[in-house]
Each structure stands twice: as C-alpha cells, then as structure tokens.
Amino acid sequence: MAKTPKSPKKDKNPIVAAAPAASAGAVPAKGGDRVAPESGGRNAPIINIGIDRQDRAAIAEGLSRVLADTYTLYLTTHNFHWNVTGPHFNSLHAMFMAQYTELWGATDVIAERIRALGHYAPGSYAEFSKIATVPDVPLQPPRAMEMVRILVKGHETVSRIAREFIPVAEEAGDDPTADMLTARCTVHDQTAWMLRSLLEE
C-alpha cells in the first residue's frame, strides 16, 4: 500500500513565509524588513541548543521588534527626564531617571538574547525606525502630565508587543526567551500603572 506523501513543513520565518496574519508560532510581520540577520562563520560550530534554525530566526525577528520599541521608549523617557518642567519637576525628574535606567539595562538583555540565538541584533536608528511601534519622542517637549500620558501609552505598547511573541518562543521550546518576555511584560504593566496613577484624581 502506497504511503501518503507528507506535506512540506511550513517555514515559520515570517520574512520568508510572509504570513498575512499573526498567530501562535508566527512573528507578526511589520513592513517585511529583515532586521536580525543570521550571524556566524565557517570556522564556528553550528548552533545546536535544541531550537531549530527557522524557529531561532522567527524569535530573533520578534525580539528585534521588542528591542526597537524598548530603545525608543528609553530615549523618550530620557528626553523627558532632561526636559520636564513645572511644579512636579523634582518627583518626575527622579522617576523618569529610574525608568530610563531600567529600560537601558533591558535593551542589553534583549540584544544579547538575539545574539545567543545566532543572529545579529539591530542597533541603529534606521533599523529601529522601520520596526518600532512606539512613536518617536515629540520634537517639542510636552507639558509634564502629557509626558506621563505618552509614557503610559509607550509602556502599554511594549507590553502588548512582547506578549505577541511569548507564544512564538513557547512553541519553539525557548523557555529563556518566553521567561524574559514575561518578565518584561511585568515591568511594563507595573510602570504603566504607576504612571497612570499620577493622572487619576
């Protein structure tokens, strides 16, 4: 009895597959720009960490988006730290410093995870501008409470983007990335709550 031929394995890399919609196990594409090219050379051994090559590529692309949004939010927060004015200057100046310091540290963790997966991490304004969802910092510094509103939206955006990629990592068996993204969501959710509380009366 003839065996039924197996259907070919679907490519999970969205840059190759160009999936029209996001779902568990697939990185939602944004603009089709590849920003995490595979690294390595002929003298280095092939990566063998229990995650296949296509899955590593998909995860690296997702992490690149999280990195771009985290860096953009870091820059906005640092800008607001410099430029905040008004009666809440002291408290907001200090709060923004604590927040941008945390974000700066997070960029390193995210970028190094991309490298551990065998891909280069994006690190230029040109690359980040192609894939970031968080908007760039306003050219004219807004009033203090408007800064707070902008940062609330920024933290919520990064949290949503990070959550999109947790199933991608989980499906590939990449627990370290899933755990890292879960931790990032916790930080962003808590920071958004604290900032939002300043706007409530």
Please check whether residue 116 lies inside any domain of the structure: yes
Please check whether residue 115 lies inside any domain of the structure: yes
| Distance of alpha carbon 109 from alpha carbon 15, whole angstroms | 24
Residues 134-181 pLDDT 10s: 999 999 999 999 999 999 999 999 999 999 999 999 999 999 999 999
CB burial readout 23-40, b (16+ within 10 A) else e: eebbbbbbeeebbbeeee
Instruction: Read off the tokens for 118.
Output: 């065998």
Spatial CA neighbour of 115 closest among 171, 18, 49 = 49
| Distance of alpha carbon 157 from alpha carbon 182, whole angstroms | 14
Question: What is the structure's pLDDT at 33?
Answer: 52
Run of H or E residues at 81: helix 53-83
- Identify the band that residue 46 occupies on the pLDDT scale cut at 50, 70 and 90: confident
Please check whether residue 44 lies inside any domain of the structure: no
Please check whether residue 190 lies inside any domain of the structure: yes
CATH classification of the domain holding 137: 1.20.1260.10
Please check whether residue 186 lies inside any domain of the structure: yes
| Length of the chain, in residues | 201
The angle that helices 89-116 and 144-171 make with each other, rounded to 10 degrees, is: 20
Q: Which residue has the higher pLDDT, 92 or 201?
A: 92
Please check whether residue 55 lies inside any domain of the structure: no
- List alpha helices for 117-198, DSSP H: 125-131, 144-171, 175-197
How many separate domains does the chain show? Answer: 1
Please check whether residue 168 lies inside any domain of the structure: yes
pLDDT score of 4 more than 50: no
Run of H or E residues at 99: helix 89-116
- Identify the band that residue 43 occupies on the pLDDT scale cut at 50, 70 and 90: confident
**Range in 23-27, 91-95, 115-119 with the lowest mean pLDDT:** 23-27
Highest mean pLDDT among 4-13, 37-46, 55-64: 55-64
Question: What is the structure's pLDDT at 39?
Answer: 67
Q: How many CB atoms lie within 10 A of CB 65?
A: 26
Please state the φ and ψ torsions of residue 26, each to the nearest 5 degrees: -135, 135
Give residue 138's domain range. Answer: 60-197
- Kindly write down the DSSP assignment for every residue of 104-135, as one continuous string: HHHHHHHHHHHHHTTBPPP-SHHHHHHH--SP
- Identify the band that residue 55 occupies on the pLDDT scale cut at 50, 70 and 90: very high
Query: What's the whole-number mean pLDDT along residues 6-14?
Result: 43
Please check whether residue 15 lies inside any domain of the structure: no
